[in-house]
């Protein structure tokens, strides 16, 4: 998220490091020499084993790796290279192990994908219960419903947002990168993207890397108000559809009485966000096609739910249907504001 002011939690994390860890890797700073969003790679030959090679920074080192192939494709994979192309081909960021909320582990999320072939973990069969995919002139978007316990998320966790920025510019997850072939010219790295996870819902948006407004359509400063405002949609549970659509408004931008307004998200210190002064406009869609999940998602494993129960939550994600976000006022601890 915005680097203007580091969250107190980043400082607390540094202070909480054990003396043993400090002895082996002294913390010498917070910001990397090169922000994650400024690291660009050609696919596939230009991808390094680890995108984040920084040491001595407050959040430690990258959990996983970025060279992912058939040798890393299993349910123990720590691949942090994701892909997003279509209704049946996308990856979500989720924990590698159960028992921790998104706010606790957002910097260590790994890729869970809907299709074999990416060298990642696979989202188990039946986990996705409804998804709407939109292709617009400037971005692609998937919004849907998921049994989040099947991808190691804690039951009841309203989650938070992953993006390639973070308060320390190392991204969430650290070293996480995304590729897509949806914008012409083959597989390209997506520089600006967002992924909200939590409340048994998700939204994923990837903006055209050649687009003049990629950073605005994939804005990353509204991490507390969820999918309804960051990825306006008409997703329905039990429905899988793919549509063309017009662009939505930039997140945080709305029109009231003919005047264009900009919403300012209040700081965490003021507590939970209980109201937002506008309802985000859902873009009109066309050429919609519906499918059943069995024809979309094949070759996926079947596993039991692993997420432990909780009553807490980190940053609000909202609901896929576009209702108000349902988060708590607890801050996500690593990379947001």
Percent of the chain whose pLDDT exceeds 90: 82
pLDDT digits (tens, 9 = 90+) for 212-254: 999 999 999 999 999 999 999 999 999 999 999 999 999 999 9
**pLDDT-based confidence at residue 305 (cuts at 50, 70, 90):** low
Distance, in Å, from the CA atom of 274 to the CA atom of 320, rounded to the nearest integer, reads: 18
Q: What count of Cα atoms within 13 Å lies in the side-chain half-sphere of residue 114?
A: 24
Determine contact, residues 143/230, Cβ cutoff 8 Å: no
Cis amide linkage into residue 172, ω under 30° from 0? no
Closest CA to 160 of 127, 195, 130: 195
pLDDT of 113 higher than 50? yes
Instruction: Name 244's bridge partners.
Output: 135, 286
Phi, psi dihedral angles at 116 (to 5 degrees): -65, 155
For residue 11, give Cα distances in angstroms to 30, 160, 167, 324: 9, 20, 12, 31
> Which DSSP helix (H) or strand (E) runs through 8?
helix 8-16
Mean pLDDT check: name the lowest of 11-20, 112-121, 189-198, 257-266: 11-20
Helix (H, G, I), strand (E, B) or coil at 269: helix
Query: What does the pLDDT read at residue 291?
Result: 98
Distance, in Å, from the CA atom of 38 to the CA atom of 164, rounded to the nearest integer, reads: 9
Distance, in Å, from the CA atom of 246 to the CA atom of 140, rounded to the nearest integer, reads: 11
pLDDT digits (tens, 9 = 90+) for 41-52: 999 999 999 999
Distance, in Å, from the CA atom of 7 to the CA atom of 10, rounded to the nearest integer, reads: 6
Which residue shows structure tokens 């988060």?
327
Which residue shows structure tokens 């069969």?
125
Closest CA to 198 of 275, 252, 146, 150: 146
Which residue shows structure tokens 């939505």?
248
Give DSSP secondary structure letters for 205-223: EEE-TT-TTHHHHT--S-T
Structural tokens at position 309? 């129960």
Query: What does the pLDDT read at residue 303?
Result: 82
Distance, in Å, from the CA atom of 282 to the CA atom of 231, rounded to the nearest integer, reads: 9
Helix (H, G, I), strand (E, B) or coil at 100: coil
Closest CA to 87 of 204, 248, 187: 204
Q: pTM of the full predicted structure?
A: 0.86
Closest CA to 101 of 136, 37, 149: 149
Closest CA to 47 of 76, 32, 69: 69
Query: What does the pLDDT read at residue 324?
Result: 30
Distance, in Å, from the CA atom of 117 to the CA atom of 94, rounded to the nearest integer, reads: 18
């Amino acid at each position: 998220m915005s680097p203007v002011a580091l969250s107190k939690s980043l400082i607390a994390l540094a202070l909480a490091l054990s003396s043993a860890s400090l002895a082996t890797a002294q913390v010498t700073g917070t910001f990397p020499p090169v922000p994650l969003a400024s690291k660009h790679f050609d696919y596939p030959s230009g991808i390094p084993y680890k995108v984040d090679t920084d040491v001595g920074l407050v959040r430690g080192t990258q959990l996983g790796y970025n060279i992912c192939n058939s040798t890393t494709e299993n349910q123990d994979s720590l691949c942090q290279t994701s892909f997003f192309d279509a209704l049946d081909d996308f990856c979500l960021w989720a924990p590698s192990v159960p028992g921790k909320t998104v706010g606790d582990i957002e910097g260590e999320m790994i890729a869970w994908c809907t299709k074999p072939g990416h060298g990642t973990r696979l989202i188990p069969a039946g986990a996705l219960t409804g998804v709407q995919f939109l292709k617009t002139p400037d971005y692609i978007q998937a919004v849907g419903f998921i049994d989040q316990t099947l991808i190691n998320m804690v039951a009841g966790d309203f989650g938070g947002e992953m993006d390639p920025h973070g308060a320390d510019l190392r991204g969430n997850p650290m070293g996480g990168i995304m590729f897509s072939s949806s914008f012409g010219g083959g597989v390209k790295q997506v520089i600006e993207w967002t992924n909200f996870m939590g409340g048994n819902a998700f939204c994923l948006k990837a903006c055209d890397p050649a687009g003049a407004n990629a950073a605005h359509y994939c804005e990353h400063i509204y991490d507390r108000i969820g999918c309804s405002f960051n990825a306006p949609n008409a997703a329905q549970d039990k429905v899988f559809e793919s549509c063309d659509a017009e662009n939505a408004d930039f997140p945080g931008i709305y029109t009231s009485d003919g005047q264009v307004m900009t919403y300012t998200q209040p700081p965490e210190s003021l507590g939970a966000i209980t109201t937002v002064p506008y309802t985000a406009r859902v873009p009109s869609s066309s050429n919609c096609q519906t499918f059943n999940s069995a024809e979309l998602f094949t070759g996926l494993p079947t596993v039991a739910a692993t997420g432990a129960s909780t009553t807490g939550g980190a940053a609000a994600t909202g609901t896929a249907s576009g209702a108000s976000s349902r988060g708590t006022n607890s801050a996500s601890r690593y990379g947001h504001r």
